[in-house]
Amino acid sequence: MIEDDFYGTIKFKSGEEIFARVAASEEDNRTMLIITHPIIVNAIKGRSGVVGYKVEPWLKTTTEDMFIINMSDILTLSESKDVEMIMMHQDFINQSNKSDDNKSHLNRRMGYLGSVNETKKILEKIFKSSNNS
């Protein structure tokens, strides 16, 4: 059974702190958290104090956006009603969805695609001719 989801800050026993959309699930007498789009928020400080925030994905080597976390790995969990944090989270999701849509794939219409050896020969020829001038 999955409870209603909410925005929350999770502090892991490892010391990591993330912000995500959170839902709790009871399975086999264990409570698991289902988190979506977890982010890490770091304050950027200048001479006058905090100037802004840097938002990054929690895990940088995956394209997954949903994770299951065991409650035994969590030190504390706090529901957040902080509108600024929620807006940063939503902006991050929107930006990451846009960047996925704009990724282009290489094809031959984009220009000449040659082998490394062919390109190396051409560059060596250009280099030699520029040294002889």
Per residue in 19-29, is it b (16+ CB within 10 Å) or e — as a string? bbbbbbeeeee
**pLDDT 10s digits, 76-129:** 999 999 998 999 899 988 888 776 555 555 555 555 556 777 777 888 888 888
Across the chain, mean pLDDT equals 83
Domains in the chain: boundaries: 1-94
pLDDT score of 77 = 94
pLDDT score of 17 = 95
- Residue showing tokens 């059974």: 1
Which of 3, 1, 128 has the alpha carbon at shortest distance from 77? 3
Helices marked H in the chain: 83-101, 116-132
pLDDT score of 128 = 83
Is the whole model's pTM more than 0.85, yes or no?
no
CATH number, domain 1-94, options 2.40.50.1070, 2.30.30.100, 3.90.650.10, 1.20.210.10: 2.30.30.100
d(CA 2, CA 99): 31
How many alpha carbons lie under 13 Å from residue 83 in its C-beta half-sphere?
A: 0
pLDDT band at 8 (very low <50, low <70, confident <90, very high): very high
pLDDT band at 7 (very low <50, low <70, confident <90, very high): very high
Structural element, H or E, at residue 37? strand 30-46
